[in-house]
Structure 1
């Protein structure tokens, strides 16, 4: 996402009933229809966002709970369409030079911010350079590294003027890459690359903190934000494609308990939910009440390779081999996820048409006997007679707790180790991961665009996403070479080699690959759940 997430087992959705009558949250279009005597009521979709977003500021809120909101309030040069492929959005068209290094985007006529200001190419130039500014400290900045001068500016070795993003005029944005990046058009549909209104941001540093000061350019506009409770959006009639936005608005609830969410759905108060209780899972799946769609991303634990005992690679590999991932997805999660046998999840095609995961093969496996041997070897190398105390930290919610308890039992059964558990609020845990204060802690990754490089570049030694303390010069070089390699077949080979090093050096413990499992009323249609992106309500409707 790349992306550091404290996600559950996918996106949990809660959809409520259509609100009756006129309200202050309905769009002007809906109000006019009501006033004219038409039987048109604002259709308000209620969605469970789990918890408070980290930030609505595009380069800051680099996680699912933030970007599922940002993706509907803002829009970039491109947008992932109903078929999950990028299509024109703020940009009506673009041209690419034969060498694949220079992109020229032409913006649509008449596009506006919610405050009425025109959206200009300068807003994109400002936003992208702000994303890269070291002062912004965005965890998403590395996504822009293919742009010439981007990495140097972000690392403090260059200036903003060296970043080759230029607003030629109000309608034309030129982007020059250091090397070809076949994924660029899809990547700029990610919220990290959304524009911000320069005048608004420079006037108020806290512009993204309250509904009253947020200015956006997407299908919906934020009208109310009760922190840690709910956030409301209404249809943005300034949006260039407002005619195809059918909802009157979206209300994001913040219910961080799967059983509560399911109960709301089961009593008929909600139209859809991704919360499927484990004890009812088998019955609900058997009754065909659950829809399962392909998704992308990986749930995993991070080892702190600078902290004992995980500064020893064989001890890390012992913990990996001790986890029965098939049992985890079958008996704990029960939503038909796939056990992780590598880090890059399925669904990414290589130049020959194969799947990256299948071609790469199984790079990790459950083997209790081998786990014990690796532990003994690691303890001998580290000269331990007793393993130092280990604490596994997870983000506070019931699903993460069940997973942690199951893994704790596996460590006990397969390694003879008593691991302590600790839970922390997601923001706190992420902050402590960045400071390398945790031994072993939960994480997840959801990709921002459909290319394996998006998974793998996050573990370069200089990437803030890593949060493991792991450094491997060979890995860093392979990722750098992959970025510079124009031949797709060779580029994929480099990425396969990199993933093998990642799994062999073991700074992370993969758990399972995500899918999207949900229950939904027949009244709801048109919600697009992107495997390589975020939930999109632009085309949603309540019949």
Structure 2
């Protein structure tokens, strides 16, 4: 991919940088761009379920949203908060009250972005009728949980309303935010999509605003000018963006080709400048010849086991019975040989998992949070068979047939088949595979209409809590329907603990509980392999899964 040894060395060095975002290309400046129209064609490799910041819960949708919207803060190359729509802020001495002062900024239709747009957007996420999966991410706000869950306010003893939530527009340019407890990463949270503002005047009167380009009004570096489902999303420079002079691309054509082999072929012929996924069969060769680049990703690929007895019983009562047994769940986990998956299927340098929280999060002592090995990445067949026998199914006899559901994109089918073979050969049990289109599969998983499901998680911010809190009993992302009072108590304690060492210890104890109950089967920690042409400069690929085009440009195409 690179045109010189220097460029190749720079790309490799950046790709191996841990815990940081990566800039594609080795610099260059605006005065080096040509007068030719700056157009980048990128394949998203997905057809997003939704592009509404309040409702999106997938990385593909977040990539679109993060280039079209901007929050109070945005993230720098190290994924730390810097000024966004808020040009400055004040924090109370106790760390619970933030006063954000907004800069002069506009929506893509020319309307002024107001503090009230943020207040409306945040309360919209929390409104129970919105049914936002990420409502739990707003729980740091005072009385957010009470409003979202229909509980009473402690101070008044009266059922909470939106007015009780700790966010208030003081005037058009001042937003006051009150937290339930101090949060060391709250500024980073304000750069996350569910905290983005929406145009109140538009959204409250149009429930389908996010489905059409003409009504997709945003406030980020790009605006949407075309949206054809299963075809493309066209983003153009937003001339109303306050930082438009620093945006070099005129247009980003986001293609929605979900068949990665076809997308890769288009990339090889030059029809695509960048592709989000490299086929597993091409990964090793592409990494060697420079047509692909590996980026650090803070994420875990795993399978989730449905513990909702009622939902699973509607599919198969016997499946509900075995999945409710922690010995069975542990057996399913121990029967998996992770090194063989990353060496023979994914082939992109992924790391076999030994915990749920991914590697790459340093603690206050400088050590990686994921330092504990809860299970060997290699299959422990003897222990797995022992546990299955203790559950009443020696050598798999009498064990019901389970169904594992997945979406076929990005080599997921190959991994599903490998798991199917391991569970058959190592435990003597039969697992049928069910493939569903990505949009359909997301709903199936969210609705709990599955037995075993493919899953993956990229951190929303650089802290173990982003992995652990999704399994709290009140989390909208808890598709396992895992419920543990002990787990909830430990995480809640970690959220209010101000001593960094004690806080980390509480989260370690919470993961101990999670891995003992095993509602999930972690497989590997992510490495993000993407195809990026050598003439594509300064695209930022974050370990959190976001791809930012606001500083990107084309040079030498």
Contact 1:364 1:503 in 2 (8 A): no
Cα distance in 2 for partners of 1:275, 1:425 equals 17
Equivalent position to 1:369, from 382, 385, 388:
382
Moved more, 156-165 or 425-434: 425-434
Do the aligned partners of 2:45 and 2:277 also contact (CA within 8 Å) in 1? no
Q: CA deviation at 1:134?
A: 0.4
> For residues 353 and 397 of structure 1, do their structure 2 counterparts lie closer, same or farther at Cα, with a shift above 3 Å needed?
same
1:174 maps to which of 160, 176, 192 = 176
Give 1:104 deviation, angstroms: 1.0
**2:400, 2:430 within 8 Å by CA — same for their partners in 1?**
no
Q: Whole-Å Cα distance in 2 between the matches of residues 269 and 429 of structure 1?
A: 29
Displacement of 1:292: 1.7
1:63 lines up with 2:58 in the alignment: yes
Over residues 406-456 of structure 1, what are the superposed CA-to-partner deviations in whole Å (9 max), with x where a residue is unaligned? 111111121112211001122322322233221101111112111111110
Which residue is equivalent to 1:453? 465
1:129 aligns with 2:142: no
* Pairwise CA distance, 1:288: 4.5
Q: Normalized against structure 1, the TM-score is what? A: 0.90
- The one of 495, 516, 525 equivalent to 2:507 is 495
Q: Residues 398 and 103 (structure 1 numbering): CA distance in 2 closer, same or farther, change over 3 Å?
A: closer
Q: Give the distance between the partners of 1:274 and 1:52, measured in 2 at CA.
A: 13
Structure 2 residue matching 1:203: 3-state secondary structure: coil
Once the two structures are superposed, residues 289-319 of structure 1 have per-residue CA deviations (whole angstroms, 9 ceiling, x without a partner) of 4322211111111101222321111001000
Q: Distance in 2 between matches of 1:368 and 1:288?
A: 39
In 2, the alpha carbon distance for the partners of 1:99 and 1:128 equals 23
- 1:80 — aligned with what? 75
SS in 2 for 1:140: helix
Q: 1:327 and 1:260 mapped to 2: Cα distance?
A: 26
- Larger deviation, residues 271-280 vs 174-183: 271-280
Query: How many Å apart are 1:469 and its aligned residue?
Result: 2.5
Structure 1 residue 166 displacement after superposition: 0.8
Whole-angstrom distance in 1 between the partners of 2:391 and 2:253 = 51
What's the counterpart of residue 414 of structure 1?
426
Whether 1:161 aligns to 2:150 is: no
Q: Distance in 2 between matches of 1:480 and 1:536?
A: 33
Match of 1:206 among 205, 208, 216: 208
In structure 1, C-alpha distance between the alignment counterparts of 2:384 and 2:188, rounded to whole Å: 40
Residue 327 of structure 1 pairs with residue 340 of structure 2: yes
Change (3 A) 1:466 1:520: same
Give the conservation status (yes or no) of the 8 Å contact 1:297–1:444. Answer: yes
Give the 3 Å change call, closer, same or farther, for CA 364–152 of structure 1 in structure 2. farther
Aligned residue number for residue 257 of structure 1: 259
Deviation track 1:235-274 (CA, whole Å, cap 9, x = no partner) reads 0011010011000011111111121121112223332334
Structure-2 separation of matches of 1:364 and 1:145: 35
3-state secondary structure, aligned to 2:321:
coil
Distance 2:544 2:95 in 1: 23
- Aligned CA-pair RMSD: 1.9
Corresponding residue number in structure 2 for 1:431 = 443
- Matched residue of 2:384: which SS? helix
Q: Which of these residues, 469, 477, 483, is aligned with residue 465 of structure 1?
A: 477
Dislocated runs of 4+, deviation >6 Å: none
Structure 1 stretches lacking a partner, 5+ long: 1-14, 16-37
Mapping of residues 183-202 of structure 1, within 5 Å: 183-202=185-204
Q: Say how many residue pairs are matched.
A: 504
In structure 2, relative to structure 1, the CA distance for the partners of 1:146 and 1:328 (3 Å cut) is same
Name whichever of 401-410 and 529-538 sits farther off.
Answer: 529-538
Matched, 1:535 2:553: no
Alignment-derived partner of residue 281 in structure 1? 283
Shift of the 490–398 alpha-carbon distance from structure 1 to 2, 3 Å rule, reads: closer
The answer (yes or no) to whether the contact 1:318–1:374 under 8 Å persists in 2 is yes
Which SS does the other structure have where 2:461 is aligned? coil
Scaled by the length of structure 2, the TM-score of the pair is 0.87
- Which of 341, 352, 361 matches 2:365? 352
Residues in 1 aligned to 2:290 and 2:223: alpha-carbon distance in whole angstroms: 36
Deviation at 1:354, TM superposition (A): 1.5
Residue range with higher mean Cα deviation, 270-279 or 295-304: 270-279
Deviation at 1:39, TM superposition (A): 6.9
